Amino acid sequence: MSVAALLLAWLPLAQQPAAATPSKPSPALARVVVVGASLSTGFGLEHTLADVLAASLAQPHGPLASEGDLLMFTRPLRSGGEQLERALDAEPTLVVALDFLFWLGYGTIGADGPMTSEAERLALLERGLALFAELECPLVLADFPDMSGAVGKIITKEQLPEKATLVRLSARVKSFAASRPKTLVLPFSELVRTLRAEQDVHIGRHTYPRGSRLLQPDELHPTLEGLVAVGQLVLDELVKAVLVRADEVLFERERVLARVREARPPR
In a domain, 20, yes or no: no
**pLDDT at residue 4 is higher than 90:** no
Average pLDDT over residues 58-77: 94
In a domain, 11, yes or no: no
In a domain, 45, yes or no: yes
What is the CB neighbour count within 10 angstroms for residue 180? 16
In a domain, 8, yes or no: no
Instruction: State the Cα–Cα distance between residues 112 and 67, nearest whole angstrom.
Output: 24
In a domain, 14, yes or no: no
Alpha-helix runs per DSSP H in 101-162: 118-130
Q: Tell me the pLDDT tens digit for each residue of 98-127.
A: 999 999 999 999 888 899 899 999 999 999
CA separation (Å) from 15 to 3, 12, 19, 20, 210?
Answer: 18, 5, 12, 15, 50
Of 35, 258, 262, the C-alpha closest to 141 is 35
CA angle 177, 182, 184 (to 5 degrees): 50
Residue 32 belongs to what H/E stretch? strand 32-34
Instruction: State the Cα–Cα distance between residues 53 and 250, nearest whole angstrom.
Output: 10
What is the CB neighbour count within 10 angstroms for residue 123? 15
In a domain, 250, yes or no: yes
Q: Tell me the pLDDT tens digit for each residue of 178-228.
A: 999 999 999 999 999 998 888 899 999 999 998 889 999 999 999 999 999
Domain count for the chain: 1
pLDDT score for 59: 87
| CATH code for the domain of 117 | 3.40.50.1110
Mean confidence (pLDDT) of the chain? 91
Average pLDDT over residues 19-38: 86
Residue 130 DSSP label: H
In a domain, 149, yes or no: yes
What is the sign of the dihedral through the CA atoms of 28, 35, 215 and 168? negative
Instruction: State the Cα–Cα distance between residues 156 and 149, nearest whole angstrom.
Output: 11
pLDDT score for 14: 46
Q: Tell me the pLDDT tens digit for each residue of 126-162.
A: 999 999 999 999 999 999 999 999 999 999 999 999 9
What is the extent of the structural domain holding 81? 25-263
